[in-house]
A and B are shown apart, each in its own frame.
Chain A
Amino acid sequence: MERKDWPLWEVFVRSKAGLSHKHAGSLHAPDAEMAISNARDVYTRRNEGVSIWVVESKYIHSTQESDVESMFDPNEDKIYRHPTFYDIPDEVGHM
């Protein structure tokens, strides 16, 4: 019998209403519906979630290892981009 592996899916779980979905991990499933079902059983069995997103891993595009220097290093010495660089007047309150 020919064996075809199920495609890989990335799972994102929202832990509670109002928070964003976070990457929880990946799993194999034959289709989207079963991927959601498997995600429920693999990643939310200890009450971790209220909503699940799945996407086939092949549809995720990412930065390349070789681009790291040009992509991220230039930001290292630009501390003025951090909000902590500025004094915030007390009247502004919590930010």
Chain B
Amino acid sequence: MEQKQALFNYLLRLGDNAAILGHRLSEWCGHGPELEEDIAIINTALDLLGHARSLYTYAGEVEGKGRDEDDIAYLRIEREYRNALICELPNGHYGDTIARQFLFDQFNYLLFSELVNSTDETVAAIAAKAIKEIRYHLRRSTEWTLRLGDGTEESHNRVQQSFHDVWMYTGDLFVQDESDKAVIEAGIGPDLTLLYPVWQDKVKEVLKEATLEMPENGWMQSGSKQGRHTEHFGYILSELQYMQRAYPGCEW
């Protein structure tokens, strides 16, 4: 595979992870369980949208077809989005959102900790800025996992179920294809198979402290790297892209 194409795919995946999860979190705006939590979760959403902007802009430059961040964010169809499946899952109740966020943050933190040392200077620079925010996201979702897990009987039972429900989407985070291999060989991104045992240990550690049971690895969903999504994804795009589709090129 051509190096440029591999890097473009790679950037698109990173950008889509941030954009789609950020969009999901933004749905909590005005609906958070507490005023303070509402503000905090939206801060995370905005951080992620910031990461997406940088990654999309650079993806557009690498591609060299004159597409900017908005073209990439708003004018692709479902199968062209490459975000990990876990990012597009519905928010559910707050425990569901926290379980999804903690598992993703832990992955994202390990990934970006490596991207800081990327041989691609732009990727390294974007990662250096993002890692500070991601470290905070992880801190927050870890704290909430501990409090819900080791909280009341009800919060414990509900968040335990949340972790069981989301678990089958965690395998998809670590699937690698040709683009990943090219990127690893060039020293641009880390080998995810090396991150997986670290991710498992960290998750296990926090779940244990939260008095939660680590779900067993059963059948895992996959397909995000080929653009195969869950049934929830089309609804995200119809909301996200409505304005640009109805009024092409509109600005405000």
Question: CB within 8 Å of B: which residues of A?
Answer: 1, 6, 27-31, 33-34, 37-38, 40-42, 45
Contact = CB atoms under 8 A, between A and B. Distances in A.
A63 B252 CA distance: 51
The 7 A-B residue pairs whose C-beta atoms are closest, nearest first, are A41-B40, A38-B36, A41-B43, A27-B36, A41-B39, A42-B39, A42-B36
Contacts of B39: 38, 41-42, 45
Contacts of A42: 36, 39-40
B147 interface: yes
Contacts of B79: none
Interface of B: 34-37, 39-40, 43, 136, 139-140, 143, 147, 154
Nearest to B46: A45
A81 B154 CA distance: 61
Contact of B143 (A1, A34, A40): A34
Task: Classify the secondary structure of B's interface with A.
Answer: helix
A1 B140 CA distance: 25
Contacts of A40: 136
A82 B35 CA distance: 44
Contacts of B35: 27-28
13 contacts: A1-B154, A6-B34, A28-B36, A30-B147, A31-B147, A33-B143, A34-B143, A37-B40, A37-B143, A38-B36, A41-B36, A41-B43, A42-B36
B43 A29 contact: no
Nearest to A4: B152
A38 B154 contact: no
A4 B34 CA distance: 12
Contacts of A33: 143
A45 B36 CA distance: 12
Nearest to A1: B154
B45 to A, nearest CB: 12
Contacts of A1: 154
